[in-house]
Amino acid sequence: MQELLNKKILIVDDEAALLKMIEDVLFSEGFYSLYTAQDCKKALEIVQSQPIALFLLDINLPDGNGFMLYRELRHYSQAPVMFLTARGEADDRIRGLDLGADDYIVKPFLPRELVLRIKALLRRTYGTEAKETGFSIGTRKIDFEKAAVITPEKETPLTAKELILIKKLWENRNRIVTNDALCMAAWGEDYYGHENNLMVHIRHLRQKLEANPSKPQYLITVKGLG
């Protein structure tokens, strides 16, 4: 766990008091490598100079929004992203997850819940349970260490959630993996109700892995099973 506590976390929120509270809570839990920003400009400056391992992003920011910032951050990092916002409407949650975000917590929240979610996300992303470095299907190589799908023509990054899901599927290759098992791998014990989010991530994986995503050869859905 100490290795995970050493990971660098960037918190982006325009509310100074909330930013300080989150920083204090995480520091008290042993997270000492913390960076904060109140706008997109500062966040982008930090990510270009520090190997951030986890992003906490507010949606409402003075010089843009969290969705826009997410897209910009992806030019520099594939680290997991948790949206931290007062905007809890379903459309906002789906939009964030559709972009590839890994979690979404709505204000007001219990500090303990935030800490547990962060620890779980770091374990799932950076844990040592996956020993293999990757595998190949057809002309595509899935590289776990680079978190990318590599072909002779290009390298396509995988989000943290996509990486977790493809590892789980590879570990259980040639077997049916239930939706519950995939949700548990990606969201931990708080997996209930994430099946629609799972389908979004699977769709994105097909677009990256399959020659014809509408007629998949590898990521095949077995109706009613997984």
In tens, the pLDDT along 48-57 reads: 999 999 999 9
Give residue 130's pLDDT. Answer: 40
In the chain the domains, ranked by start, together with CATH numbers, are: 2-126 (3.40.50.2300), 143-209 (1.10.10.10)
Q: What is the per-residue pLDDT for 191?
A: 61
Tell me the pLDDT band of 47, cut-offs 50, 70 and 90.
very high
Q: Reading across the β-sheet that carries 103-106, which strands appear in turn?
A: 34-37, 9-12, 54-57, 81-85, 103-106
pTM for this model (two decimals)? 0.64
- The pLDDT tens digits for 168-219 are 898 888 888 888 888 888 887 666 677 888 889 999 999 999 989 999 989 9
The answer on pLDDT for 38 being more than 70 is yes
CA atoms within 13 A on the CB side of 60: 7
Q: Is the pLDDT of residue 83 over 80?
A: yes
pLDDT-derived band at 129 (thresholds 50, 70, 90) equals: very low
Residue 186's pLDDT is what?
84
| Beta-strand pair 60-61/64-65 | antiparallel
Let me know how many helices (H) and strands (E) the chain has, helices first.
9, 11
Residue 9: partners with Cβ closer than 8 Å, 6 or more residues away: 26, 31, 33, 34, 35, 52, 53, 54, 55, 56, 118
